[in-house]
Chains A and B, each alone.
Chain A
Amino acid sequence: MKQDLLQKIPESEYKYGFYSQLDSDKFPKGLNEKVIVSLSKKRSEPNWMMQWRLEAFKIWKEMKEPEWSQIKYKKLNYQDISYYSAPKRKTTVNSLDQVDSYLLETFNKLGIPLEEQKYLAGVALDVVIDSISVTTTFKKTLSKKGIIFCSINEAIHKHPELVRKYIGTVVPIRDNFYAALNSAVFSDGSFCYIPDGVHCPMELSTYFRINEGGTGQFERTLVIAGKGAYVSYLEGCTAPRRDENQLHAAVVELISLEDAEIKYSTVQNWFPGDKDGKGGVYNFVTKRGICETRSKISWTQVETGSSITWKYPSCILKGDYSIGEFYSVAITKNFQQADTGTKMIHIGNNTKSTIISKGISSGKSQNSYRGLVKVSKQAENARNFSQCDSLLIGNKCGAHTFPNIEVNNPSARIEHEATTSKIGEDQIFFCNQRGINKEKAIALIVNGFSKEVLNKLPLEFSVEAKKLLEISLEGSVG
């Protein structure tokens, strides 16, 4: 029985592995100044933006690929990637009717609520395929409230003062190798600005998809919540099934001004590679937010895809009474590797942070939590609670925990706890007794295990995430 089920693990297919035959406008492979200039020109960007990119490229050339992590992968050849690919468009689209019918079909396959569904779901959506934002819905409703939600390219044109003021302030160009690369070549992404005192009436959502082969995706997201504003932002991603490893190096910057709150949720489901570990997306992402006085940033992530996930959504708690939260579920199977966690940097007084991380590994996968809680000298009464739990399914996988805690102020209270175990035989037996088969029992236990995090997701995402967990775990009973 056990053997059968173990063999079934790879059989739970990646359901978003299709490829859409879209005409695309793609740059030849390779990266140099020329490519960046023509990329910038293609997007008809102002000069300051182009200079910024070129500076980033200069810095990136001097940087070395980081090697400190636990993950093992074949190094990428950065000259063998096309840095720009976009579905071909004739004119700017104003309504969905004008959108390429293949594109719409793609959306339907993905099950994205776009036209009618969007009203039902009540979600404003920005879709980024390959490198380009293709459509943004609900713009009017949002603009009535003064909310700007558009692609970053549009924002560079229409709101250059905002972009210029905030871009690169949370994740500077020099921050790391992939952030520098992204700064040089990012082609699109989402931009969101909530004015002071506005409570965003709906969930804002971005959907990312890599469609073309031989490309990388480098999107840049910038979310700014003005004083006392509130926004909940969702992000989802998929990619077609391919034998090559595609690079996804995004940068997300969140700025939460006084009394503001940003809730950022991710359901990451890039193609994880096949059962032999072939192909899959390298997800090397830099995400960070900065909190001003009494503001709050909450990261929630469900990581099921990508052959390698390497990301640490972080909070800089700069203002007094600011709050940072991190809730994460990472599921790995086959040959997937996940190295994820968070950094909470306490700088202001009376700051609080909570970290809940759940890792589930099966197959031959490796799942690591790596985190940092740092309390600086001037941060009075900092409070942190961290909990990292790992669940192991099968005996070929690994679960690791690397918490780092640095405290420089005696008034801090830091708690950290972690456990690693396998699913209890008695728990499964208990379910079996009540007529629940083994597979369902596992799904039940895993769902319970990650409930704390799933509950933090916005409702419609929570449902999707639960389903995703079940699909991911299909047949992974050990």
Chain B
Amino acid sequence: MIDIKKKIISSYFKKKRPWHEYFQTLRFSAIKTFKKKVLTTIDEWNIPLLNRDYMFSHKTSIEWKDIQPHLLYPTDSSRLVFVNGVYSARFSQPQDKNISVFSHGLSPEKYVYIIAFYAKLSSSQDGFNAMNTALAQDVAYIHIPDGLRVEHPIQIVYFSSGVDSHYTLLFPRNLVILGKGSYAEIIEKHYTLGSYIPLSNSVTEIYTDAHSHLEYFKIQNDISKSSLIDQTFIYQKFKSKCSISTFSFGGKLVRNNLHIYQRDSKGCSKLNGISILHGEILVDHHTVIEHAYPNGKSHEIYKGIFDDKAKGVFNGKIIVRKEAKKTDAFQRNNNILLSRKTSVKTKPHLEIFADDVRCTHGCTIGQFNEQALFYFRSRGISEKEARAQLMFAFVQEVLEHIPIPKLKKHLYEIISKKMNVYLNFYL
């Protein structure tokens, strides 16, 4: 484990550094934090992943035909494509001057604005986070100006490809800033082309200014060898609305750390999650919602269906600070276990320091209702289809709120494919 750490640190010093002075200092302090911190963090997360001899990504050739099937909107709408951590101008389609990419070497005059936000939220105390800050190359940067309503969803797609059985480290990074009263929909995806073994260590920072509204979708449906550590930090201002939906369908290890800081009153946060897992996979959702100002709202629903050897973890924390009067927080976690080898751990935690609040949480773990299955069967519906329908019904509560029809359809397709059924309707 120590070896890989050394390797990461030495690779940092080997890298050419044409960066702006600000980023130079930032990265240097991050690598120092990483040197100090990462091992304890790994222990805490219980991730044996770094026990491998990782390489750093290198250039490979990817053609348009390879990536096209993975794009939701191949023609219209803005799109940022990264290949092996490097921005690909060839495949991207920014369409809008507000959506851009910055690498750490660009001129500071242009990015004064970025400096005020970049790496401010992500806690430097965490090893993985520090690793990303020190080594991330290109950053997807989306800035929606005040009052702008972006019509089409913006896609951020990370592709990676490599030679067989090579362990590769990747560092995706996103920075999203929503101006006052703006609206945007963002879809983030990670795909592995070919059959190698990547570990993506991703960090996303989101700032939503007053009255803005963000709909953010993470689709995690990668090949079964890939792993993803995703950390997202959200900073919400007055009356802003932020909805983060995480759909986990594939991979080997998926870790989602979601931190929401409501930093003004009347903020509204929505967290949705669906995990439908099959095979040897661990999906670990850790969410923290911190209410620090009055009249905040949060609504969290995570649903999981676990089959085969899939393992699920849900660790949801709601913190209500003393000043956060009239907070209304809701949290729910429902799980269905389908196989004898699955296991689920759930920790819905509440920490409340204010008295005039309403906080509820609930969680359930169980199986399909046998009576409901029998009802289907007695009406001549095959067991497979009956199960699929019940599964759809189970996750429908989350799916029905998706405002992008095309994405909704895409998710239905993924789920039908996973269950190996064809349903000619959308619930």
A residues in contact (CB < 8 Å) with B = 377, 390, 392-422, 478
Contact = CB atoms under 8 A, between A and B. Distances in A.
A407 B350 contact: no
15 contacts: A392-B355, A395-B355, A398-B351, A400-B352, A401-B361, A403-B349, A404-B347, A407-B345, A410-B337, A410-B338, A412-B337, A415-B362, A419-B358, A419-B360, A422-B355
B158 to A, nearest CB: 33
A421 B328 CA distance: 10
A405 B347 contact: yes
Contact of A422 (B322, B335, B356): B356
A395 B354 CA distance: 5
Given A415-B363, A418-B360, 5 more contacts: A399-B352, A405-B347, A409-B337, A413-B366, A478-B355
B283 to A, nearest CB: 15
Contact of B348 (A394, A396, A398, A418): A418
B357 interface: yes
Given A405-B345, A406-B343, A415 B364 contact: yes
Please give me the 7 A-B residue pairs with the lowest Cβ-Cβ distance, nearest first: A410-B337, A392-B355, A417-B362, A414-B365, A408-B343, A401-B350, A420-B359
Interface residues of B, number: 32
Contacts of B90: none
B285 to A, nearest CB: 14
Contacts of B349: 400-403
Contacts of A397: 353, 355
A408 B361 CA distance: 22
A364 to B, nearest CB: 11
B235 to A, nearest CB: 25
B420 interface: no
A407 B356 contact: no
B382 interface: no
Contacts of B351: 398, 400
B322 A416 contact: no
B360 A417 contact: yes
Contact of A393 (B338, B342, B344, B355): B355
A221 to B, nearest CB: 31
A413 B355 contact: no
Contacts of B363: 403, 405, 414-417
B330 to A, nearest CB: 10
B346 interface: yes
A398 B349 CA distance: 13
B291 to A, nearest CB: 12
A398 B356 contact: no
Contacts of A422: 355-357
Contact of A407 (B344, B347, B348, B359): B344
A403 B339 CA distance: 24
B367 interface: yes
B337 A407 contact: yes
B355 A412 contact: no
B120 interface: no
Contacts of B335: 407
B14 interface: no
A400 B344 CA distance: 22
Contact of A418 (B322, B344, B361): B361
A411 B367 contact: yes
Contacts of A393: 355
Contacts of A390: 352
Contacts of B338: 410
A403 B351 CA distance: 12
Given A390-B352, A401-B350, A416-B348, A410 B364 contact: no
A419 B330 CA distance: 9
Contacts of A413: 364-367
B340 interface: yes
Contacts of A392: 352, 354-355, 357
A419 B354 CA distance: 14
Nearest to B350: A401
Nearest to A400: B351
A219 B219 CA distance: 56
B348 A414 contact: no
Nearest to B347: A404
Contacts of A394: 355
Given A418-B360, A418-B362, A420-B357, A406 B350 contact: no
A417 B361 contact: yes
B366 A414 contact: yes
A410 B340 CA distance: 6
Contacts of A415: 362-364
Nearest to B349: A402
